[in-house]
Structure 1
Amino acid sequence: MARSVLLGYAVVVNALHVQDYRHPLAAGAVLGVLATWTLVAPRLYRVAARRPRLVVTELALAVAALLLTPWVQGATAADPDAPTLASFWIAAPVLACAVQWAWRGGLASALVVGGVDLSVHAVPSGSGTGYVFLLVLTGLVAGYAAALVRAGTRERTEAAAVQAAAAERERLARAVHDGVLQSLAYVQRRGAEIGGPAAELAELARDQEEALRGLVQDHVDGSVSRAAPGAPPTAGTRDVAAMLHRHTGRAVSVATPASPVPLPGADAEELVAAVAAALDNTARHAGGASAYVLLEDTGDGVVVSVGDDGPGIPAGRLDEAAAAGRMGVTGSIVGRLAALGGTAELTTSTSTGTEWELRVPRRTVAGRGRAP
């Protein structure tokens, strides 16, 4: 579109002076070549591999049109205010160079074309010098804008790729967790219960479960899926998932989302401390029981389930402990969650064991309200 407008201006201004030209037919031929290029250039530029050569060709056409001006115009060319054959069309290759090679290409082409434009006049006019200055400025601005557009496009493409990779990681993590990891955890638990040769199978299942879980959490398609253990995903936060995985052991399995689960640093530490208290309670009062930790990110909060397959807590035991002044469970678990604005619910029976469901709302880093 820009080439067509510039060409139209060049045709009009030359038509107004063509009766004074020494070779008017040659002027028509030059404008005809520029018109042909203006028509075919948009199609030619569609092939990215051709663009550098096409830009150089367009620049050469502009320079050639300028150099032919004195011969075509004859005495008219001596007039400092007389238009060149290319007129304002010389801005087209400058813009093309700016788009192709950013501001450096725009500046270099503007200096070349502007210098030739001034040289074809015996006495350059003030308006001609000003036009060359505007041409240089146009090359710089257009080149800078082209560079910004390229950078923005590249960033959007990278963001889309990261988002797609994250979605694929989540899908694979769900599939692995729902299938392979749960099967390995079951083999590990049953093998330990049966003992004998099955215990060796349980040990192998434990090793494979840990290796596969680490693979899912760390890398899918060559990209990191979570922050390194202990490294905050963002300023002022901690990754609860990475912190919970430190409790993984022979008797404790930990399952978390494949992506980081950030909470404000103090909240994350208190939540993990409550989980540690529940696991410690299992180790002390349900010796030999297998424990598990499940982490879920609900968006506006975090839910952690901590359970075991032990004999459960006898009815009234917690009330007796509280009456005797032993506030271990109440203070270490319930009290911590209450201080975070969350809840701690206990489910226990002799047949299914014990499970704590710990819910914590996601607050701002400052801890003064919910995150937006």
Structure 2
Amino acid sequence: MPTARAIEDQLFAALGIVRVVLLLNAVGWNIHRRDNFQHPEAAVACVAVMVLWTFVANVSYGRPRLRTAQLVVVDLALAVVLMLVTPWVKGEGYRATVPGFWVAGALLAAALRFGWRGGFMAGVVLAVADIVPREELRQSDVGNAFLLILAGTIVGYLCASLQTMAAEREAAQREATAAAERARLARAVHDGVLQVLALVQRRGRELGGDLGELGALAGEQEDRLRRLIRAQDSLSVDADTFDLATALTGLEELPGVTVSTPGHPVEMGAATALEVVAAVRACLDNVRLHVGEDAPAWVLLQDRQDRVEVSVRDDGPGIAPGRLEIAAAEGRLGVSGSIRGRIRDLGGTAEVATGTFGTEWRFAVPRERPDTAYGRRHE
């Protein structure tokens, strides 16, 4: 989610400042202890590597697309190598490693990127790299190793929790905004459209004939619109998943509609599945309106694991060239809003093929929306 991603950006920006402070600390101590080196040239090379990598790491972690597992592994590996070469650079009996506290930068990067698991693993790796080369193990060395593991785990847990809470708060705000918008639209529909449909139904029943049939159609649309509003009001953005295949199969109650689905449930989030079904129903409404009341239509659902694909096909005369663009310019929402708009809001694509063979809509909708996946990555 955008908020969780923004928090991660801020945390890595803060880590960049911490890295510079740790670098200055490491450089200062190595200058102060310059007489302790058996190979001064190697010590200078190690410090130069630390300076260069601090710059590279700050630039790389500052760009979200570069915060990959490979970057974290290289960061951690460099810290381990500098710790392991310390016995050769300083000689046996050394007390502090060449990088010193500078290695905490790699530890914190792993914790920020991969949560408490990443922090714990990075802490274990650094602790082992610090303890194994030592000939004499002091209590302070064991304490430092323990602090590395503890710090990585706690920092990782706190950062992941912060991002999760931010994602949950953003989801709650989005749900509250959607609920308020649904209530506003429901009032507008009730005050206008529903009352007009009810009036047409009543007057048509009174006059009879063709107007009676028109009134019956108005009554059917009024009932469908009321049920849609009730369904929207009872739906939660974070509702449980349900079977999209079963929901689409229910459309076979419409005249001339044939639905083909996989032989297994196709589970999706309730909000996403509801929008997919609504888009398919909008396509079928167009078939009834432009092809015929009982015109055949075929709905095909395919499960592609990471996404679902739905096609709606008829054998009508097709859509006249430029007709969709004209309808959108006139403010008609049948295709631009009810079909393409719904699928676009789900992060999917909606394509149409039309000609003398008929019209076929093809939808591709991800099983899990990108913002939801981001929130789960930090759990």
Q: Supply the distance in 1 between the matched residues of 2:223 and 2:205 (Cα, whole angstroms).
A: 16
Kept after mapping to 2: 8 A contact 1:114/1:132: yes
1:67 matched to 2:80? The reply is no
Deviation at 1:199, TM superposition (A): 2.8
Deviation at 1:224, TM superposition (A): 4.9
TM-score under structure 2 normalisation? 0.54
Q: Supply the distance in 2 between the matched residues of 1:85 and 1:224 (Cα, whole angstroms).
A: 55
Q: Supply the distance in 2 between the matched residues of 1:196 and 1:160 (Cα, whole angstroms).
A: 51
> Considering only aligned residues, what root-mean-square deviation do their CA atoms show, in Å?
2.2
Aligned to 2:211: 198
Aligned to 1:56: 73
Percentage of pairs with the same residue: 43
Which amino acid in 2 is paired with 1:139?
G
Deviation at 1:166, TM superposition (A): 1.8
Q: Supply the distance in 2 between the matched residues of 1:27 and 1:223 (Cα, whole angstroms).
A: 64
Deviation at 1:120, TM superposition (A): 2.2
Deviation at 1:196, TM superposition (A): 4.3
Aligned to 1:338: none
Q: How does 1:276-291 map to 2 (within 5 A)?
A: none
How many residue pairs align between the two structures?
A: 221
Q: Supply the distance in 1 between the matched residues of 2:66 and 2:142 (Cα, whole angstroms).
A: 33
Kept after mapping to 2: 8 A contact 1:189/1:202: yes
Q: Supply the distance in 1 between the matched residues of 2:208 and 2:22 (Cα, whole angstroms).
A: 88
Aligned to 1:26: 42
Pick the structure with greater CA Rg: 1
1:150 matched to 2:163? The reply is yes
Which has the bigger relative contact order, CA under 8 A and spacing at least 6? 2
Unaligned runs of 5+ in 1: 228-372
Kept after mapping to 2: 8 A contact 1:218/1:224: no
Kept after mapping to 2: 8 A contact 1:99/1:142: yes
Q: What SS does the aligned partner of 1:120 have?
A: coil
1:41 matched to 2:54? The reply is no
Kept after mapping to 2: 8 A contact 1:105/1:143: yes
1:189 matched to 2:202? The reply is yes
Aligned to 2:93: 78
Q: Supply the distance in 2 between the matched residues of 1:17 and 1:168 (Cα, whole angstroms).
A: 66
1:127 matched to 2:143? The reply is no
Task: Describe the superposition over 1:132-184 as per-residue Cα deviations: whole angstroms up to 9, x where unpaired.
Answer: 11111101111110121121122022113212322332343233223321210
Q: What SS does the aligned partner of 2:174 have?
A: helix
Quick one: which of 186, 192, 207 aligns to 1:179?
192
Q: How does 1:287-306 map to 2 (within 5 A)?
A: none
Deviation at 1:198, TM superposition (A): 2.8
Q: What SS does the aligned partner of 2:33 have?
A: helix
Aligned to 1:4: 20
Aligned to 2:116: 103
Kept after mapping to 2: 8 A contact 1:14/1:83: no
Kept after mapping to 1: 8 A contact 2:108/2:119: yes
Structure that is richer in helix per residue? 2
Deviation at 1:95, TM superposition (A): 1.2
Kept after mapping to 1: 8 A contact 2:175/2:236: no
Q: Supply the distance in 2 between the matched residues of 1:147 and 1:19 (Cα, whole angstroms).
A: 43
Unaligned runs of 5+ in 2: 1-16, 240-379
Kept after mapping to 2: 8 A contact 1:172/1:216: no
Deviation at 1:205, TM superposition (A): 1.4
Kept after mapping to 2: 8 A contact 1:102/1:144: yes
Q: Supply the distance in 2 between the matched residues of 1:42 and 1:189 (Cα, whole angstroms).
A: 71
Kept after mapping to 1: 8 A contact 2:205/2:215: yes
Deviation at 1:19, TM superposition (A): 1.9
Deviation at 1:127, TM superposition (A): 0.9
Which amino acid in 1 is paired with 2:93?
A
Kept after mapping to 2: 8 A contact 1:13/1:83: no
Task: Describe the superposition over 1:215-264 as per-residue Cα deviations: whole angstroms up to 9, x where unpaired.
Answer: 122138x9559x9xxxxxxxxxxxxxxxxxxxxxxxxxxxxxxxxxxxxx
Which amino acid in 2 is paired with 1:8?
L
Which amino acid in 2 is paired with 1:87?
G
Deviation at 1:62, TM superposition (A): 0.4
Kept after mapping to 2: 8 A contact 1:27/1:85: yes
Q: Supply the distance in 1 between the matched residues of 2:163 and 2:182 (Cα, whole angstroms).
A: 28
Quick one: which of 119, 122, 128 aligns to 1:115?
128
